[in-house]
Structure 1
Amino acid sequence: MSTSTIRSASQAKLFGLIVMILGGVFLVAGAVTWGAVSSNLKAENITVAEDADMFAGQVVDTPWEAFSQAAIINHHALDMSGGKTYAELDREDPVRATVMNGSFLRASLFTSVVAFGVALLVMGLGVTFGVVGWAIRSLGVAVAGTSATPERPVVAAV
């Protein structure tokens, strides 16, 4: 086996290992982020309203519960304002402040939904990196285990 083939196989194995380690870091970072968002939401002691379409009465600590609570807040605000949004209400309307607070609460809940989504994306990337790193490493092992001669070069199957 030629020196360049051995060097290429070693480099592939090393690169594969590095990609797998990055995958592990991404997976852990995403999981820690998911846990942090969940525990911080839970600490707020927000309970999904009883008249919500889904998750009624449950503590908000998942993206689905946060989305459900945001939807019912919007429903209540629109009921209170006669179907008008904050921007559509007259500046002197006494309901405007309550609708504004509802809008801010919804924005905060949607921010947590986005944070959960980013955490899930990062975890998915971690798994993907792990699989790709394993594949690269396996190719390096396969190349290192074959015998190559100048007449018969090693060709990696993709």
Structure 2
Amino acid sequence: MSNTATILSTGRARAVRLIGILGLVAGIVLIVGGGVVWGTVSSQLAAEKITVSEDASFLAGAEVRGPLTAFAQADIIQEHALAASDGLTYAELEQDDPVRTTMMNASFLRASLFTSVVSFGVSAFAIGTGLVVGAFGWALTALVPRASKQLAD
């Protein structure tokens, strides 16, 4: 295995190092931002004091405060609503059917819960992206020493 090194001009070395530092900063911002959003959505769900229905197919009885419990509750709301409407959706019911209001409310609740599920997903994506961007930034700063270190070697 040959031992080769690439020598960068001072200007290019500074540019690469600056990009690395920007990557580190961007990574930290993404991780913190994703964590804040995750925590906010989780605390807002917890404040609603929703519990997954006991007849849910999974996570029955759990407090709704994360993506899985929100999904479980949205799923069982759909089951309950369809049971109340004999399997008909909101759009399939006659306009004067009194069950239509129940279906509309169920739809709104499900949409709200699914919005929180999407928020958790975006937060997780931001955190993951922040980890990758930060790792690349760290690698660049580690590979390109500071100008003062370069001159000392």
Q: 1:46 to 1:6 in 2, by over 3 A?
A: same
> Could you list the per-position Cα deviations for residues 98-149 of structure 1 after superposition, in whole angstroms to 9, with x for gaps in the alignment?
11100110000000001111111111111011111012222322999779xx
Moved over 2 A (4+): 141-147
Quick one: which of 117, 120, 125 aligns to 1:116? Answer: 120
> Could you list the per-position Cα deviations for residues 59-96 of structure 1 after superposition, in whole angstroms to 9, with x for gaps in the alignment?
10000000000000000001110100001001111111
Residues 1-158 of structure 1 aligned to structure 2 (within 5 Å): 5-141=9-145
TM-score normalised according to structure 1 size: 0.85
Please report the RMSD computed on the Cα atoms of aligned residues, expressed in angstroms: 2.2
> Unpaired segments of 5 or more residues in structure 1?
148-158
Report SS of the residue matched to 2:143.
helix
Aligned length: 145
TM-score normalised according to structure 2 size: 0.88
Same amino acid, percent of matched pairs:
49
Q: CA deviation at 1:23?
A: 0.3
> Unpaired segments of 5 or more residues in structure 2?
1-7
